[in-house]
Amino acid sequence: MLSFAQVNFGLNLAGLIGIIYVLLAIVYFILTIAWLARRGNRLTGWALALYIIQVVFTPIIMLLCGIILFFQGWRLDPILQIEQFLLLLLILYLSIKDIVINAVYRDR
């Protein structure tokens, strides 16, 4: 564990998951904005509003969770680190499914 200006962080499973959350939040935000810019005019009012809410809040929540896990993940018990890893797998699956459905199957 390193200590730098009263900020503790360690590079364990939770710290790596935190880094992945931060990177995934940035990539997800960029890809969904690009998709929305190309296909936003096809969506109805409610669908567009819900999609914009998803585009705004999902990366913010993932970014905050990633920062918290990176700086405070060294305090987690191993069972909580496994739980965070399983949640990461679920989020990766849902994000990839969302991007593939919107990018691949909507082009037809």
Evaluate if residue 80 carries a pLDDT over 60: yes
Residue 34 near residue 11, CB atoms below 8 Å: no
Q: How confident is the model at residue 75 (pLDDT cuts 50, 70, 90)?
A: confident
Mean pLDDT score, 35-64: 83
% of the chain surpassing 90 pLDDT: 13
For the whole prediction, is pTM greater than 0.85?
A: no
Q: Residue 18, SS3?
A: helix
Question: What is the percent of the chain with per-residue pLDDT over 70, rounded to a whole number?
Answer: 83
Reference 14, options 108, 84, 100, 95; nearest CA is 84
Q: For the chain, how far is it from start to end, CA to CA, in angstroms?
A: 51
4: left (phi over 0), alpha (psi -120 to 50) or beta: beta
Q: pLDDT-based confidence at 60, cuts 50/70/90?
A: very high
Q: Is 19 exposed, middle or buried (0-12, 13-18, 19+ CB in 10 A)?
A: middle
Q: What is the mean pLDDT of residues 70-77?
A: 82
